[in-house]
Structure 1
Amino acid sequence: MSSGPAAADSGIVVSYDADWNDAWYLVCMKVSTIGFVVVDARERVAALDALRARGVTDLSGYLDANPGAANRLRRGMIILDVNEAAVRMFGAAGRADMIGQRTQRFFDPSCTAQVNSARAFAEGAAAFQQQARSVRMDGSRFDTLFCVVPRADGVASGLWLASFVDITEHVQRQTALDALRDELAHVSRISTLGELSASIAHELGQPLSSIGMTAGAMLRRLDGPEIDRDTLRHQCRRIVDQVARAGDIIDRTRRMAGKRGGLRSPVAIADVLAESIQFVQHELSRHAIDIQVGVSGPDLVVQADRIQLQQVFVNLLMNAIQVHHGAGTPRPEIRIDAIRKDGTVRVDVADNGPGIEPSHVDQLFDGFFTTRADGLGLGLSICRTIIAAHDGAIAVTSPSGSRGATFSVCLPIHLI
């Protein structure tokens, strides 16, 4: 095929030279599983040249600030030819249904792939690839892997080849897997909160007891011959403070127990560690375990979901507490150190318990592996999933023949 119909709204004759019909082009057109589309991008190239002529050097910033210009780039590609796989993929009756159409017709309006490809080629990229949200002829949406390359003689020729791979099933499987991981993480949090029920009850008991005693004292003063307003005012403030403290405990527990999506923001590691220790403080006291914390500086900040990080460190602390329980360690200790190392924040949680059996070290982070009779085997597996989702890593060391184990969590530093 050497020419196609004209695009009525552009005035551009949709055509291309017969020398595109070389061996690789013919192979592309005959592939049965990948949708190939030949496009005329001269209108887009002209729009990019016009922006350069106007002195636009920061294309990304300009397009972000000028949606109209971005939309013109989306419109500036016209379909010259398609293979049968593309016809089937987009639900067309035949090639004629797609030839002459603007490519914008086949992308969801929210999809950024077309504009991002323009940015990439304007910056000298040789090819572009991105997951895209595509649109069939009947308007239904599906997920594709979108790739585009210009003809070998350069971007300026305006003759480009795009390909589409339907990845809908893959995206659906990944979505289901992510949902399953979220559900397992929720189960793990609920299990941990169950183990911490005595600690939570103890925490709540302190402010409630204080509220009761303060209210009783106020009643006695009100029944007395004289009313000291300053003392009553002070006691009222104390009740208000203790109510707020109890509310904080309830809110913290509710957040940990809740089913929620990942909400990431800059988080100070020192604050997360303090909150995590507060969760297990009663357990530390009950087992007479000394805890030492060393944070090297206030700049240890990561971009993370605060509750998920709490889940990781509460789990590591509970594991260390349970290691000491019944082990007969003369002076049980847990040491937490947080330092900055090679662009990351590294947090070490170490105990001086009996250590980990060498045969167990490689299995600790496997799902459903546990050394406890009443354990679910989810805690460390979920910890690894959470840390990996934050582009970090978690590892354990327990040298053979020595006491203790150290769990190390590394997360990318957040640059402010």
Structure 2
Amino acid sequence: MWHDGGYSGMRLHRRQPSAGLHGQAVLQRAIRLCLLILSGFSLLSGPVQAENGGSPQDVTIGVLAYQGELAAALDWAPLTRFLNERVPGYRFNLEHFDADSLRAAIREQRVDLVVTNPGYYVAMENEFGLSRIATLDSPQALSPDKGTGSALIVRSDRADLETLADLRGKRLAAMAPDAFGGYLLVVREMLAQGIDAESHFKEIHFLGVPMMRIVAAVQRGEADAGVVRSCFIEQAAARGVLRLEDFRVLGDRRSVDTTAAAFPCGLSTPLYPDWPIAVTRGIGHSLSKQVAQALLSMPADTGMAWTVPADYQTVHELYRELRTGPYAHLRDVTLAGLLRRFWPALLVLALVLTAWGVHTVRVEHLVQRRTAELRASLRARDEAEARVRSHQEQMEHLSRLSILGELSGSLAHEINQPLTTIGNYARSLLRRHADGRLTDAAVVEACGEIGSEAERAGGIMRRIRDFARKRTAVREPADMPALADSTRKLIEGMLLHAPLIVCENELPPGCEVLADGPQIQQVLLNLVKNAIDAGRGLPPERQAVTIRLETADKRLLVHVIDQGCGLTAEQQSRLFEPFFTTKPDGLGLGLPICKTIVEAHGGRLWAESNIPSGMRFSFSLPCHAASN
């Protein structure tokens, strides 16, 4: 189980089952009976035989059951029924897990598809290589990117609790230290308001699943506040499980955040992407594509709807800020932590420093001994002073070696980056020499870059104190000609026989855009790679690719032009549809993602035939005048 190690020092208590749960055994038997009935219906709705006449292949869907097995079975039964109807030759079965058992099932390859919350997906993506193929499009969500949040509930009669700051010194109920909607979202929101859960709460009860345990603890007064998933108490009230007027949401953002005002449920945190469905490494590409296409065509009247995978960068930012989950290693920015992570490189560096130190000490010792021998004829006082100076110099030298040893962890980490770049350029020169493509210009360029990286290595000591600082990418003035040229160099460095890539800059002076540079470069890389693929196998003069920059109507235009075989009108009309591809091994998500990035920057991406042959892919961005 992936835990948030930063909160291990809290006074944490796990509540034991109360006497009010004396009928738990009967309830468990009823749940198992309902699950058997639902499984029977799911199997009956699926195909009896594969299309080739054989038995259908079983596909297991693992679901994180944060409300318990019965609620999960009822919520996700439409998913298995729909897939059994739409994907022939396979029999989809639903299994329910808590966080620990789902992780074990993924590790042991007992599940093929995983439906879970955004936080658990990001952690399992990092650990086991899960790959999302669709995101839930919930009716209560503002959008697939804004569908998951947390509500901090208190009893309605607690007049002493009005804001999050009032919880200092109080008791909190939550699901688990690593629960995304059941704990971590509220921890981050509290940190933003200056409240540290590690020190400001009197105690925290982690009650596990189902989430109704948290509501019960708040209602009985065993906890002053509880963390539940947004819309949980509203849905429970609709089912008649609780009375909504008995509770209220602390710090409801809908009254202060215009973007959350339309959200139908109480909300104490910002909204994050909705639940994804992901495939494990063992599932085949063909089945992944069939399932993704089926999910995107799933009508809302079946009980749920799906859309293309959302951007889960905000979830990564949360874990990085809290230094937990896949970013727990950021807590180990200590000498002991660096030794654990980088001990091979540190061992080599320590051996080099030790050998250098021994050699230096030996040389200095020989020099001092020779000096002492030359002064043997001098007076005893001068000889004694010489020995004292020798010992002092040796102690100062050992002190300098000790300081270098303390900094060796940071040095090993930082110096690896420029050394890797220098090695890459050196190997590139060797490859070009072996291929007979080495030119004076390439040597000058590579030597310039190697010199630049060498200067960068020389400035390492000044940057050690900023070693662990992480910054979130922001939009800023971007140099489009430089981005285009950087993309060209990157492509030429990756491909052994790269075609000619020409950058034509027709921009007027002072034209720039506000953009996230890495995202725009991602779009350029995708379009140039597609252009190179379109000309593969053609004569060299038709393999060339042109990147042209120009302006029109106060917008910066970027054109990527190839001279390949082109596309039919029907293919062009479907280019930006998810999962449509003309490549045998393509998934069909590259251009839709590029379109999403460009539109998020206020621009537009389109394609048209190039005269006399090939295609022209273009996108526009708002042009901003440079500030004086």
**TM-score interval, normalised by the smaller of the two chains:** 0.3 to 0.5
Output the TM-score relative to the length of structure 1: 0.44
